[in-house]
Amino acid sequence: MRAVVQRVARAAVRVGGETVGEIGRGLLVLVGAAAGDGPSDAAALAGKLAALRIFPDDEGRMNRSVVEAAGEVLVVSQFTLYGDVRRGRRPSFTAAAPPETAEPLVDLVAEGLRRAGVPCATGRFRAHMEVDLVNDGPVTLVLETAGGRVV
């Protein structure tokens, strides 16, 4: 799985003008699943997201996790994270997991975060979404899993 993680002051996702997910201070996580990914990848990603120390401590150093900072997470599925543009001008998405495989994996990431005690909102799978965010920092990281662990 691949995730683009952004520390945010707030974020929201809308579908057809309706807000379907919204958070205050926390993380916006765009998540894509690759062909061959499984539940262990989703669990590893959720665990890493909950434990990432990218929120400031009392001295302003990135030393607190989203759990310690009492933050929230907005998980938004994004298969285009596996777009391959090495050839031609149109991205190829053959590396992305098919929707029937990807959707439960993205759901497992959100479930894993909730089990870790993190309030978690989500977008709507297979929908055209509008995502609003206010970056905090900005702090942006890319995470990737392979074989059930973050690499």
Residues catalogued as catalytic? 78-80
Choose among 83, 87, 110: nearest CA to 29.
Answer: 110
User: In one letter, which amino acid is 137?
Assistant: G
Q: Decide if 94 contacts 123 (C-beta within 8 A).
A: no
Tell me which residue has tokens 């992305």: 96
- For residue 70, with 0-12 CB atoms within 10 Å meaning exposed, 13-18 middle and 19 or more buried, which class applies? middle
- Going by C-alpha positions, the residue among 111, 125, 115 that lies closest to residue 32 is 125
